[in-house]
Amino acid sequence: MRDVNKVFPKGKKPLEKKIGVLTCYDYMFARILEEAGVDSILVGDTLGVVVQGQTSTLPVTLDEMIYHAKAVRRGAPNTFITVDLPFLSYQVSLEDGIRSAGKVMKESGCDAVKFEGGGPEILELIYKLERIGIPVMGHIGLTPQSVNVFGGHKIQGKAEEDRVRLLNEAKGISDAGAFSVVFELIPSILAGEISSSIPIPTIGIGAGSSTDGQVLVLYDFLGLNKDFHPKFLKTYMDGRSGVFEAVKTYVQEVKEGIFPGPEHSH
């Protein structure tokens, strides 16, 4: 059994060690992440963009999230896995949210769910899910499922009224019973202020270094998208060039009769 309190310790700030989270969507990468010692995996609805080629996360369905989460669980049986609830799987009603979260937990074998926002309806859903035994990770700041409201992927919390709103949302999410909360695209000073004001671990993406941990999208982290270079992203390898050159070499060797050689033949 994967203990949420061991991975996301509550009320122990500053943490002895910060929490390293990566997104993942398939079995093979999940195996690598677990073997490399990642603290936690997020099966994010970002799969709509980086796996499916959609322009946003909005088209992703609940069944698609479960499909990918099951593959990740098979690859990382010992890692704490959180799964995003996709757009309109929890916002319509409290009952829909409970039903969607329960379906994900039952069918994927994940350890927790994550969803966006900090309004009254979201706080009630967090409270209800916690009471029936479903751990919840919150998400505030730039919430991709609301990107059309924000007018694009813009930093949140610059204005004083937004700063106060985000502070209140984070406190509400914590008080409702969430075990952690993601801060996306908010100023680092504000992220530090909010993080120090709540007892649950905070995970940043584009929120500076004052959070209790970080999360990155795996394909961005590996440098697979040559067109995506936000300021907050650090790529840890030039994955695209490596794959590109490997494919070019393979095609050339096949055309020239170099592959397969005698050593590759029965």
**Sign of the torsion formed by the C-alpha atoms of 103, 106, 109 and 111:** positive
CB-based burial, 64-78: b 16+ in 10 Å, e otherwise: bbbebbbbbbebbee
Rg of the Cα trace of the chain?
Answer: 20
Long-range contacts of 86-93, Cβ-Cβ distance < 8 Å, separation of 24 or more: 86/45, 86/48, 86/57, 86/60, 86/61, 86/62, 86/145, 87/45, 87/57, 87/58, 87/60, 87/145, 89/61, 89/62, 90/115, 90/125, 91/121
Catalytic entry in 35, 184, 245, 256 = 184
3-state secondary structure of 30: helix
Q: Is there a catalytic annotation at residue 95?
A: no
Provide the token pair at 246: 């490997």
Residues annotated within the binding site are 45-46, 84, 114, 116
Spatial separation of the C-alpha atoms in residues 45 and 58, rounded to whole Å: 8
Would you say 27 and 210 are in contact if contact means Cβ atoms under 8 Å apart? no
Residues annotated within the binding site for Mg(2+) are 45, 84, 116
Residues annotated within the binding site for 3-methyl-2-oxobutanoate are 45-46, 84, 114
- Asked if omega into 262 is within 30° of 0 (cis), the reply is no
Catalytic residue numbers, as ranges: 184
